[in-house]
Amino acid sequence: MKRFFLVTSMMTIALFISAQSLQEGSVSESRYADNGDGTFTNPVIWGDYPDVDMIRVGEDYYMICSTFCLTPGIPISHSKDLVNWEIIGYAYDRLIGNNVYDMAGGKTRYNGGSWAPCIRYHKGKFYIFYYDNLGYFVTNVSNRPEGPYKQTLLYCHLYDPSVLFDDDGKVYVVHGQNVIYVTEVSEDFTKVISPAKTVFSSFTGAWEGSHIYKRDDYYYICNTAGGTPGREYILRSKNIYGPYEVRELVNTDANLSGCGLHQGGFIDLHNGDSWFFMFQDRVPAGRVPWLFPIKWEEGWPVLPSFENYGRIAPTQRKPFPKANVLGRPFERGDEFSSDRLDLHWQWSHNPDNSKWSLAERRGYLRLHAMQADSWENARNTLVRRFIGPEMTAVTSLDISALKDGDVAGLCVWNKPYSYIGISKQEGKQYLVWTDNGQNIKKSEINIDKNIYFRVTGDNSSIARFEYSRDEKNWFRYGEDFRMEFSGKTYLGNRFGLYCFHTGDGEKGYADFDYMRFSSPYGAANHFNAFNLIPIEFYDDEHNTRLNRVEQNKLSPDQYLEVTESGAWAQYNNIDFGTGVTDFCINALSSLKDSRVEVRLDAPDGELLATCIIPAGQVGREYREYSAPMKSVMGKRKIVLVFHSDYAQSPKVTEFKFK
């Protein structure tokens, strides 16, 4: 099944749009969580921010994540409201400990590097810890949150580490997979004081991702279990070495079927509230951070309400709704007009800094071609996060300095990968495209100087490549590429710029004028009533269930069913403009008649429309059903109420208004 959203071809990017519903032809650089009305919609960043960890220092909040083979590594993001974040620095510039990160001899380690980092603030210093799966524990220390950080290595197996500076001056690392250990280390993290002691053995698989805290008289260890469909458990003891009691905190896939919220910890805010942060595996973006409030009961963190079977609403009130913070896209374009790369850029593995420049031609990024057998071991590939649900990247490339054997262009970075570009061979220019080297398309083309490339990734995990000679007339090239997320990198998809040389002759360079982004999504759950709205993009729901249209995790296309009659899904910000006349919904009918009510503001609010989905033959095609609707204007909250037999629920995928 294909979904069709508005995709504008206008590439003039606004640096900021207010939190209003997107109108026909409007454009943002990427989706962001702040709804502009005192609420936000999860994920906080619909982009790859895996193994998230957070701390508070006074009234400032800091967030970090794993970056594996990418450098600079472990971004430090800052926020005043826990919703709007800005990258302010990195824990390190280069990966250390092994020259495989320099792609020495053509070797690579895409799933190496920084795993599950931990951030702490202690005695006026910021600490960032991570484990490299080559077998060492890395400590990064700085007086400033943005760095620079000083690194030390401890050759000790401390998988998924979380650090506690205890009240008595002792320092503990909680770590492990399936078996959770506590290891006491020196305060400077250069030696082990007390070897690893087992404190908990799991009763289910993939028990990992420890986050250790001390609150009042208890030690708390937060752990994930179950991998992608995961859930979150809390361990509690009055002794660091246990015994530990255990309780389940969260077991929900929120609004993405089969992908549970998991692996996180809690944070006590400066106003006394407590919140929990986690991530969710979400193809094609990667592992995206979620945030929701918790309360404390008898010394245990719990969800504020279990009325909806422990499910967590995507849209929440902001922790600090009065904070003077404006929502804006997390990822924004780069015109390469600065003498430094924007902090959102990262290199695949360690770069060769002598082979790129922002100074050799002002206003351009110059990538000098280096020898590589293929794109996979090409050094100095520069990448930015894909932000869902949909995002387009465009770049302008001056190819006049390419030499025979050079290849340069725009890519979807991951494993598998795909790219479009220009290859120069025997004095001729070729337009090339490949999907992970499996299929290759190649056409001779004559370009004097500049060519433009564009790639769009959508919520169905499909990327489509285009090229243009004049940035006005665009032409598809290559096939649809399925973006994936796997343990080959443990990272979500990114858009990137590359230039490499496949031969052993003279090498040239490529000049990139800019990287610009656009998206039909801006402020999270704000929708134009006349565009198709995916059913799962609700702000809240009750007694519904999502399933995949295609029974695999590579496609996030979903349908909604009800678990009892009267179930509902709520959409807080739908812009009806000057009014509508009809309600339309796409569904697969069941063996019994069903009806969908459109109500204003609440499940029992004013009835605007009643759409009948008549009984049909199970397994037939999805089709559109419609009904006349009482007109409403402007931005309104709409609730869809579903009346059907649980065992005979229609499968609903999307809706719109006319």
Ranges assigned E (strand) in 283-427: 286-297, 300-302, 315-317, 346-348, 356-357, 365-368, 370-371, 382-385, 391-398, 406-413, 418-425
Among the listed residues 51, 253, 435, 536, the single catalytic one is 51
Q: What are phi and psi of 377, to 5 degrees?
A: -110, 25
Is there a catalytic annotation at residue 654? no
Q: Six-digit token pair at 448?
A: 């004097």
In angstroms, the CA 80 to CA 563 distance is 39
By C-alpha distance, which of 412, 469, 417 is closest to 445? Answer: 469
On the question of a cis peptide bond just before residue 72, with omega within 30 degrees of 0, the verdict is yes
- How long a stretch of residues is the chain? 658
Render 577-596 in DSSP notation, one character per residue: TT--SEEEEEEE--SS-EEE
In angstroms, the CA 345 to CA 588 distance is 43
Residues pairing with 429 in the sheet: 424
By C-alpha distance, which of 399, 365, 394, 392 is closest to 380? Answer: 365
On the question of a cis peptide bond just before residue 195, with omega within 30 degrees of 0, the verdict is no
CB atoms within 10 A of CB 3: 17
Q: Rg of the chain's alpha carbons, rounded to an integer? A: 25
Q: What are phi and psi of 112, to 5 degrees?
A: -95, -155
By C-alpha distance, which of 528, 529, 549, 524 is closest to 539? Answer: 524
Q: Six-digit token pair at 627?
A: 């009904």
- Which long-range CB contacts under 8 A does 72-77 form with residues at least 24 apart? 72/346, 72/347, 73/113, 73/114, 73/346, 74/114, 74/117, 74/128, 74/130, 74/140, 75/343, 76/119, 76/128, 76/145, 76/146, 76/147
Helix (H) or strand (E) holding 73: strand 73-79
In angstroms, the CA 633 to CA 195 distance is 66
Is there a catalytic annotation at residue 540? no
By C-alpha distance, which of 490, 62, 442, 498 is closest to 287? Answer: 490
Q: What are phi and psi of 101, to 5 degrees?
A: -75, -10
On the question of a cis peptide bond just before residue 650, with omega within 30 degrees of 0, the verdict is no
Q: What are phi and psi of 236, to 5 degrees?
A: -140, 135
What residues contact residue 623 under an 8 Å CB cut-off, 6+ apart?
A: 586, 587, 588, 589
Ranges assigned E (strand) in 298-339: 300-302, 315-317
Among the listed residues 208, 406, 539, 575, the single catalytic one is 208
In angstroms, the CA 431 to CA 445 distance is 6
Q: Catalytic residue positions? A: 51, 208
